[in-house]
């Protein structure tokens, strides 16, 4: 496995953008308020992240009016779907590698000093834990 296969996509991996992309990967499209509520981002943060994702070609943004009120719809592009799926696959591979490495490590017995370390703590008379 090449090292670059495990490098995370920084545009996608940023927590706010990953939340947006993950929500969008489970729906056809979503409006701005739905994304704001499901991700917990502020209007300004959500707008900033959507601009970056739009500039990178991962989402499409459609601004329109519904009953004279502005409505912003966002959807993943085919490239966005591919990149978010690739990202989750890389995270799964990293987790599998970590699990494999942990399983391959020799088992270590706890050191004598770590056994009952809390039992040796002394408190002055009259005080409690």
CB 86 within 8 A of CB 54: no
Of 48, 45, 76, the C-alpha closest to 62 is 76
**Residue 65 phi/psi, 5° resolution?**
-115, 135
Entry pTM: 0.74
Question: Can you name the residues that pair with 65 across neighbouring β-strands?
Answer: 70
Output the CATH code of domain 3-93.
1.10.10.10
Q: Residue 88: name the closest of 35, 30, 26 by CA.
A: 26
Q: What is the pLDDT of residues 55-109, one digit of tens each?
A: 999 999 999 998 999 999 999 999 999 999 999 999 999 999 888 888 888 776 5
Report domain extents, the chain. 3-93
Six-digit token pair at 31?
Answer: 């409006």
Apex 86 CA angle, 81 and 91, nearest 5: 130
């Amino acid at each position: 496995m090449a090292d670059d296969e495990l490098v995370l996509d920084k545009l996608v991996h940023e927590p706010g953008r990953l939340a947006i992309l993950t929500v969008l990967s489970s729906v056809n499209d979503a409006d701005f308020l739905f994304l704001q509520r499901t991700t917990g981002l502020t209007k300004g943060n959500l707008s900033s992240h959507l601009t970056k994702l739009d500039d990178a070609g991962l989402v499409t943004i459609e601004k329109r009016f519904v009953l004279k009120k502005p409505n912003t719809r966002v959807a993943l592009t085919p490239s966005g779907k591919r990149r978010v799926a690739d990202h989750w696959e890389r995270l799964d591979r990293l987790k599998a590698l970590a699990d494999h490495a942990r399983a391959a490590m020799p088992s270590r017995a706890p050191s004598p000093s770590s056994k009952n370390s809390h039992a040796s703590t002394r408190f002055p008379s009259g005080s409690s834990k």
